[in-house]
Homo-oligomer: A and B are copies of this chain.
Amino acid sequence: MNIEMIRAAAQRLDGEARCTPLLNSPFIDDLAGRRVWIKPECLQHTGSFKFRGAWAALSALEPSIRAKGVVAFSSGNHAQGVALAAARHNVPSVIIMPADAPHLKIENTRSLGAEVVLYNRASEDREVIGLSLEHERGLTMIKPFDDPQVIAGQGTAGLEIAKQTSSLGVEKGDVLVCCGGGGLTSGIALALEADAPGLCVRPVEPEGFDDVTRSLFSGKIEKNIKTTGNICDAIITPQPGNLTFPVMQRLCGPGLIVDENEALESMAIAFLRLKLVAEPGGAVALAAAIFRKGEIEGNDVVVVISGGNVDPDLFAKSLNTLV
Protein backbone atom coordinates (compact mmCIF):
# COMPACT_ATOMS: atom_id res chain seq x y z
CA MET A 1 0.00 0.00 0.00
CA ASN A 2 1.46 3.32 -1.03
CA ILE A 3 0.54 6.71 -2.35
CA GLU A 4 1.51 5.79 -5.90
CA MET A 5 -1.25 3.18 -5.95
CA ILE A 6 -3.73 5.81 -4.86
CA ARG A 7 -2.58 8.25 -7.52
CA ALA A 8 -2.80 5.50 -10.14
CA ALA A 9 -6.31 4.65 -8.92
CA ALA A 10 -7.25 8.33 -9.18
CA GLN A 11 -6.18 8.32 -12.82
CA ARG A 12 -8.32 5.26 -13.53
CA LEU A 13 -11.25 6.84 -11.67
CA ASP A 14 -10.97 10.15 -13.53
CA GLY A 15 -14.26 10.76 -15.34
CA GLU A 16 -15.80 7.67 -13.72
CA ALA A 17 -16.16 8.49 -10.02
CA ARG A 18 -17.45 11.88 -8.98
CA CYS A 19 -15.17 14.40 -7.37
CA THR A 20 -17.61 15.22 -4.56
CA PRO A 21 -17.61 18.84 -3.37
CA LEU A 22 -16.57 20.11 0.06
CA LEU A 23 -19.58 21.71 1.75
CA ASN A 24 -20.12 23.74 4.90
CA SER A 25 -22.84 25.49 6.87
CA PRO A 26 -22.58 28.27 9.44
CA PHE A 27 -25.23 26.44 11.49
CA ILE A 28 -23.11 23.30 11.69
CA ASP A 29 -20.03 25.38 12.52
CA ASP A 30 -22.00 26.75 15.48
CA LEU A 31 -23.03 23.30 16.65
CA ALA A 32 -19.49 21.98 16.40
CA GLY A 33 -17.71 25.02 17.80
CA ARG A 34 -15.31 25.14 14.88
CA ARG A 35 -15.37 25.23 11.09
CA VAL A 36 -16.71 21.96 9.69
CA TRP A 37 -15.94 20.89 6.13
CA ILE A 38 -18.21 18.16 4.81
CA LYS A 39 -17.11 15.63 2.17
CA PRO A 40 -20.44 14.16 0.97
CA GLU A 41 -19.66 10.73 -0.43
CA CYS A 42 -23.40 10.05 -0.30
CA LEU A 43 -23.35 11.96 -3.60
CA GLN A 44 -20.96 9.42 -5.12
CA HIS A 45 -22.38 7.01 -7.72
CA THR A 46 -24.56 4.34 -6.02
CA GLY A 47 -24.86 6.61 -2.98
CA SER A 48 -21.63 5.74 -1.19
CA PHE A 49 -17.84 5.89 -1.48
CA LYS A 50 -17.81 2.15 -2.25
CA PHE A 51 -17.96 2.81 -5.98
CA ARG A 52 -14.42 4.25 -5.79
CA GLY A 53 -12.88 1.06 -4.43
CA ALA A 54 -14.94 -1.17 -6.68
CA TRP A 55 -13.91 0.74 -9.78
CA ALA A 56 -10.28 0.83 -8.69
CA ALA A 57 -10.25 -2.94 -8.13
CA LEU A 58 -12.04 -3.85 -11.34
CA SER A 59 -10.02 -1.48 -13.49
CA ALA A 60 -6.78 -2.94 -12.08
CA LEU A 61 -7.63 -6.50 -13.15
CA GLU A 62 -5.92 -7.98 -16.16
CA PRO A 63 -8.54 -7.64 -18.96
CA SER A 64 -8.82 -11.35 -19.74
CA ILE A 65 -9.36 -12.09 -16.03
CA ARG A 66 -11.85 -9.24 -15.65
CA ALA A 67 -13.81 -10.41 -18.70
CA LYS A 68 -14.78 -13.58 -16.82
CA GLY A 69 -16.52 -11.48 -14.21
CA VAL A 70 -16.37 -10.65 -10.53
CA VAL A 71 -18.10 -11.77 -7.37
CA ALA A 72 -18.69 -10.01 -4.04
CA PHE A 73 -20.46 -10.58 -0.74
CA SER A 74 -22.57 -7.70 0.47
CA SER A 75 -26.10 -6.76 1.28
CA GLY A 76 -25.45 -3.06 0.96
CA ASN A 77 -23.14 -0.42 -0.41
CA HIS A 78 -20.29 -2.59 -1.64
CA ALA A 79 -22.83 -4.67 -3.60
CA GLN A 80 -24.05 -1.66 -5.53
CA GLY A 81 -20.55 -0.28 -6.07
CA VAL A 82 -19.30 -3.56 -7.55
CA ALA A 83 -22.45 -4.04 -9.62
CA LEU A 84 -22.16 -0.63 -11.26
CA ALA A 85 -18.39 -0.84 -11.77
CA ALA A 86 -18.81 -4.24 -13.43
CA ALA A 87 -21.68 -3.06 -15.62
CA ARG A 88 -19.65 -0.08 -16.82
CA HIS A 89 -16.73 -2.39 -17.59
CA ASN A 90 -19.24 -4.54 -19.47
CA VAL A 91 -18.32 -7.64 -17.47
CA PRO A 92 -20.62 -9.89 -15.41
CA SER A 93 -20.94 -9.54 -11.67
CA VAL A 94 -22.42 -11.88 -9.12
CA ILE A 95 -23.38 -10.51 -5.72
CA ILE A 96 -24.04 -12.98 -2.94
CA MET A 97 -26.75 -11.52 -0.72
CA PRO A 98 -28.71 -12.90 2.21
CA ALA A 99 -32.24 -13.87 1.18
CA ASP A 100 -33.60 -11.66 3.96
CA ALA A 101 -31.77 -8.53 2.75
CA PRO A 102 -34.07 -5.55 2.15
CA HIS A 103 -36.04 -6.06 -1.05
CA LEU A 104 -35.01 -2.63 -2.32
CA LYS A 105 -31.29 -3.37 -2.02
CA ILE A 106 -31.70 -6.67 -3.88
CA GLU A 107 -33.69 -4.95 -6.61
CA ASN A 108 -31.18 -2.10 -6.86
CA THR A 109 -28.26 -4.47 -7.20
CA ARG A 110 -30.09 -6.39 -9.94
CA SER A 111 -31.09 -3.17 -11.67
CA LEU A 112 -27.44 -2.13 -11.77
CA GLY A 113 -26.78 -5.25 -13.82
CA ALA A 114 -25.62 -7.80 -11.27
CA GLU A 115 -26.71 -11.40 -10.96
CA VAL A 116 -27.88 -11.75 -7.37
CA VAL A 117 -27.37 -15.10 -5.66
CA LEU A 118 -29.46 -15.34 -2.52
CA TYR A 119 -28.46 -17.58 0.35
CA ASN A 120 -30.07 -18.60 3.60
CA ARG A 121 -28.13 -17.09 6.48
CA ALA A 122 -29.20 -19.88 8.83
CA SER A 123 -28.46 -22.93 6.70
CA GLU A 124 -25.88 -21.90 4.09
CA ASP A 125 -22.27 -20.67 4.19
CA ARG A 126 -21.72 -17.72 1.88
CA GLU A 127 -17.96 -18.36 1.78
CA VAL A 128 -18.59 -21.80 0.30
CA ILE A 129 -20.96 -20.33 -2.28
CA GLY A 130 -18.39 -17.66 -3.15
CA LEU A 131 -15.51 -20.11 -3.51
CA SER A 132 -17.52 -22.38 -5.74
CA LEU A 133 -18.47 -19.43 -7.97
CA GLU A 134 -14.82 -18.37 -8.15
CA HIS A 135 -13.72 -21.81 -9.20
CA GLU A 136 -16.58 -22.93 -11.41
CA ARG A 137 -17.05 -19.70 -13.32
CA GLY A 138 -13.61 -18.14 -13.05
CA LEU A 139 -14.93 -15.08 -11.22
CA THR A 140 -12.61 -12.80 -9.26
CA MET A 141 -13.59 -11.94 -5.69
CA ILE A 142 -13.72 -8.19 -4.94
CA LYS A 143 -13.29 -7.83 -1.18
CA PRO A 144 -15.08 -5.00 0.60
CA PHE A 145 -12.02 -3.46 2.28
CA ASP A 146 -8.99 -5.68 2.82
CA ASP A 147 -7.62 -5.40 -0.70
CA PRO A 148 -4.85 -3.01 -1.80
CA GLN A 149 -6.69 -1.76 -4.88
CA VAL A 150 -9.91 -1.24 -2.95
CA ILE A 151 -8.04 0.76 -0.32
CA ALA A 152 -6.32 2.74 -3.09
CA GLY A 153 -9.69 3.53 -4.64
CA GLN A 154 -11.17 4.76 -1.37
CA GLY A 155 -7.98 6.79 -0.87
CA THR A 156 -8.85 8.92 -3.88
CA ALA A 157 -11.39 10.66 -1.63
CA GLY A 158 -8.38 11.66 0.48
CA LEU A 159 -6.56 13.15 -2.50
CA GLU A 160 -9.64 15.28 -3.15
CA ILE A 161 -9.86 16.35 0.49
CA ALA A 162 -6.19 17.39 0.44
CA LYS A 163 -6.70 19.51 -2.66
CA GLN A 164 -9.97 21.03 -1.47
CA THR A 165 -8.76 21.93 2.03
CA SER A 166 -5.56 23.37 0.62
CA SER A 167 -7.54 25.69 -1.65
CA LEU A 168 -9.42 26.87 1.45
CA GLY A 169 -6.19 27.49 3.34
CA VAL A 170 -6.97 24.69 5.81
CA GLU A 171 -3.74 22.90 6.62
CA LYS A 172 -4.27 21.56 10.13
CA GLY A 173 -7.08 19.60 11.72
CA ASP A 174 -8.77 16.27 12.23
CA VAL A 175 -10.49 14.36 9.43
CA LEU A 176 -13.33 12.30 10.86
CA VAL A 177 -14.08 9.17 8.85
CA CYS A 178 -16.97 6.73 9.35
CA CYS A 179 -15.16 3.44 9.93
CA GLY A 180 -16.17 -0.19 9.38
CA GLY A 181 -13.36 -2.45 8.16
CA GLY A 182 -11.11 0.54 7.63
CA GLY A 183 -10.82 0.68 3.84
CA LEU A 184 -11.94 4.28 3.56
CA THR A 185 -10.16 5.31 6.75
CA SER A 186 -6.80 3.83 5.80
CA GLY A 187 -7.05 4.97 2.19
CA ILE A 188 -7.73 8.56 3.19
CA ALA A 189 -4.97 8.42 5.81
CA LEU A 190 -2.42 7.33 3.20
CA ALA A 191 -3.50 10.05 0.80
CA LEU A 192 -3.30 12.75 3.46
CA GLU A 193 0.09 11.55 4.69
CA ALA A 194 1.42 12.45 1.26
CA ASP A 195 -0.65 15.46 0.28
CA ALA A 196 -1.87 17.08 3.51
CA PRO A 197 0.38 15.94 6.36
CA GLY A 198 -1.14 18.46 8.76
CA LEU A 199 -4.47 16.64 8.62
CA CYS A 200 -4.98 13.69 10.98
CA VAL A 201 -7.55 10.95 10.31
CA ARG A 202 -9.75 9.88 13.23
CA PRO A 203 -11.94 6.79 12.76
CA VAL A 204 -15.51 7.14 14.05
CA GLU A 205 -17.58 4.13 15.11
CA PRO A 206 -20.95 3.32 16.65
CA GLU A 207 -21.14 2.42 20.32
CA GLY A 208 -20.76 -1.34 20.80
CA PHE A 209 -18.95 -1.70 17.49
CA ASP A 210 -15.77 0.13 18.42
CA ASP A 211 -13.29 -2.54 17.30
CA VAL A 212 -11.02 -0.08 15.51
CA THR A 213 -10.93 2.36 18.43
CA ARG A 214 -10.05 -0.45 20.84
CA SER A 215 -7.54 -1.96 18.43
CA LEU A 216 -5.77 1.38 18.03
CA PHE A 217 -5.71 1.71 21.81
CA SER A 218 -4.41 -1.80 22.57
CA GLY A 219 -2.10 -2.03 19.56
CA LYS A 220 -3.56 -5.28 18.28
CA ILE A 221 -6.65 -6.33 16.34
CA GLU A 222 -9.70 -6.46 18.63
CA LYS A 223 -13.08 -7.89 17.68
CA ASN A 224 -16.60 -6.70 18.34
CA ILE A 225 -18.66 -8.93 20.62
CA LYS A 226 -21.89 -8.29 18.75
CA THR A 227 -22.23 -8.68 15.00
CA THR A 228 -25.70 -7.22 14.52
CA GLY A 229 -28.13 -4.94 16.31
CA ASN A 230 -27.22 -1.39 15.33
CA ILE A 231 -28.82 1.02 12.87
CA CYS A 232 -25.35 1.83 11.46
CA ASP A 233 -25.50 -1.33 9.34
CA ALA A 234 -22.87 -0.14 6.86
CA ILE A 235 -20.05 -0.01 9.42
CA ILE A 236 -20.60 -2.79 11.94
CA THR A 237 -17.81 -4.94 10.53
CA PRO A 238 -16.53 -7.53 13.04
CA GLN A 239 -12.89 -6.35 13.16
CA PRO A 240 -10.33 -4.17 11.36
CA GLY A 241 -8.70 -5.67 8.25
CA ASN A 242 -5.25 -7.21 8.20
CA LEU A 243 -4.16 -4.66 5.61
CA THR A 244 -6.08 -1.67 6.91
CA PHE A 245 -5.15 -1.97 10.59
CA PRO A 246 -1.37 -1.42 10.27
CA VAL A 247 -2.03 1.66 8.14
CA MET A 248 -4.49 3.06 10.68
CA GLN A 249 -2.11 2.21 13.52
CA ARG A 250 0.68 4.15 11.86
CA LEU A 251 -1.32 7.16 10.71
CA CYS A 252 -4.59 7.65 12.60
CA GLY A 253 -5.39 9.49 15.80
CA PRO A 254 -7.61 7.99 18.49
CA GLY A 255 -11.04 6.71 17.48
CA LEU A 256 -14.29 8.45 18.40
CA ILE A 257 -17.50 6.69 19.40
CA VAL A 258 -21.07 7.90 19.04
CA ASP A 259 -24.41 6.33 19.89
CA GLU A 260 -27.38 5.55 17.70
CA ASN A 261 -29.38 8.60 18.76
CA GLU A 262 -26.46 10.87 17.96
CA ALA A 263 -26.25 9.29 14.51
CA LEU A 264 -29.99 9.84 14.00
CA GLU A 265 -29.80 13.45 15.13
CA SER A 266 -26.91 14.06 12.78
CA MET A 267 -28.88 12.66 9.86
CA ALA A 268 -31.54 15.25 10.67
CA ILE A 269 -28.91 18.00 10.86
CA ALA A 270 -27.53 16.97 7.45
CA PHE A 271 -31.10 17.11 6.11
CA LEU A 272 -31.75 20.54 7.58
CA ARG A 273 -28.43 22.28 7.05
CA LEU A 274 -26.78 20.52 4.11
CA LYS A 275 -29.79 19.19 2.16
CA LEU A 276 -28.08 15.82 2.12
CA VAL A 277 -29.41 12.34 2.80
CA ALA A 278 -27.03 10.47 5.09
CA GLU A 279 -27.51 6.89 6.28
CA PRO A 280 -26.87 6.18 9.98
CA GLY A 281 -23.41 4.69 9.42
CA GLY A 282 -22.65 7.58 7.06
CA ALA A 283 -23.57 10.17 9.68
CA VAL A 284 -21.39 9.04 12.59
CA ALA A 285 -18.48 11.31 11.63
CA LEU A 286 -20.79 14.33 11.62
CA ALA A 287 -22.15 13.14 14.96
CA ALA A 288 -18.62 13.04 16.38
CA ALA A 289 -17.93 16.60 15.20
CA ILE A 290 -21.05 17.79 17.01
CA PHE A 291 -21.32 15.54 20.06
CA ARG A 292 -17.62 14.80 20.77
CA LYS A 293 -16.24 18.25 20.12
CA GLY A 294 -14.30 18.15 23.38
CA GLU A 295 -12.26 15.26 21.99
CA ILE A 296 -11.26 17.23 18.90
CA GLU A 297 -8.75 20.07 18.66
CA GLY A 298 -8.15 22.94 16.29
CA ASN A 299 -10.17 25.46 14.33
CA ASP A 300 -11.14 23.18 11.47
CA VAL A 301 -12.47 19.67 11.15
CA VAL A 302 -13.24 17.66 8.01
CA VAL A 303 -16.18 15.25 8.15
CA VAL A 304 -16.77 12.48 5.63
CA ILE A 305 -20.42 11.51 5.10
CA SER A 306 -19.73 8.08 3.68
CA GLY A 307 -23.13 7.05 2.33
CA GLY A 308 -26.82 7.80 2.01
CA ASN A 309 -28.52 4.45 1.38
CA VAL A 310 -31.18 4.56 4.06
CA ASP A 311 -34.75 3.31 4.09
CA PRO A 312 -37.45 6.00 4.07
CA ASP A 313 -38.89 4.79 7.40
CA LEU A 314 -35.62 5.14 9.22
CA PHE A 315 -34.97 8.52 7.62
CA ALA A 316 -38.39 9.74 8.72
CA LYS A 317 -37.51 8.54 12.23
CA SER A 318 -34.37 10.69 12.17
CA LEU A 319 -36.45 13.74 11.23
CA ASN A 320 -38.49 13.26 14.40
CA THR A 321 -35.40 14.22 16.40
CA LEU A 322 -35.86 17.78 15.07
CA VAL A 323 -39.23 18.26 16.74
The chain A residues found within 8 Å of chain B, CB to CB, are 18-21, 23, 26-27, 30, 40, 42-43, 47, 84, 108, 111-112, 268, 271-272, 274-278, 308, 312-313, 315-316, 319-320, 322-323
Cβ contacts under 8 Å, A47 to chain B:
275
Q: Among B18, B19, B271, B276, which residue has its beta carbon within 8 angstroms of that of A312?
A: B271
Give complex CA distance A173, B21 in Å: 26
- Tell me if B23 and A21 are in contact (CB < 8 A): no
Q: Given A30-B111, A268-B312, A315-B319, output 4 extra A-B contacts at Cβ < 8 Å.
A: A43-B274, A47-B275, A312-B322, A312-B323
A205 to chain B, nearest CB (A): 22
A282 to chain B, nearest CB (A): 9
* Chain A residues touching B, majority SS: helix
Give complex CA distance A276, B316 in Å: 14
Given A26-B112, A27-B111 in contact, is the A42-B312 Cβ separation under 8 Å? no
Given A276-B276, A276-B277, A277-B276 in contact, is the A315-B23 Cβ separation under 8 Å? no
Give complex CA distance A215, B272 in Å: 35
Q: Among B23, B312, B316, which residue has its beta carbon within 8 angstroms of that of A43?
A: B23
- Tell me if B275 and A271 are in contact (CB < 8 A): no
Cβ contacts under 8 Å, A42 to chain B:
275
A-B pairs with the 7 shortest C-beta distances?
A275-B308, A312-B319, A275-B277, A42-B275, A316-B316, A312-B322, A47-B275
24 pairs, CB–CB < 8 Å, chain A vs chain B: A18-B21, A19-B21, A21-B21, A21-B43, A23-B43, A26-B84, A26-B111, A26-B112, A27-B108, A27-B111, A30-B111, A43-B275, A43-B276, A47-B275, A268-B312, A271-B277, A271-B315, A275-B276, A275-B277, A275-B278, A275-B308, A277-B277, A312-B323, A313-B319
Cβ contacts under 8 Å, A275 to chain B:
40, 42-43, 47, 276-278, 308
Q: Please give me the residue from chain B that is nearest to A30 by CB atom.
A: B111
Cβ contacts under 8 Å, A268 to chain B:
312
Q: Please give me the residue from chain B that is nearest to A309 by CB atom.
A: B275
A111 to chain B, nearest CB (A): 7
Q: Please give me the residue from chain B that is nearest to A317 by CB atom.
A: B316
Q: Please give me the residue from chain B that is nearest to A272 by CB atom.
A: B312
Give complex CA distance A268, B19 in Å: 24
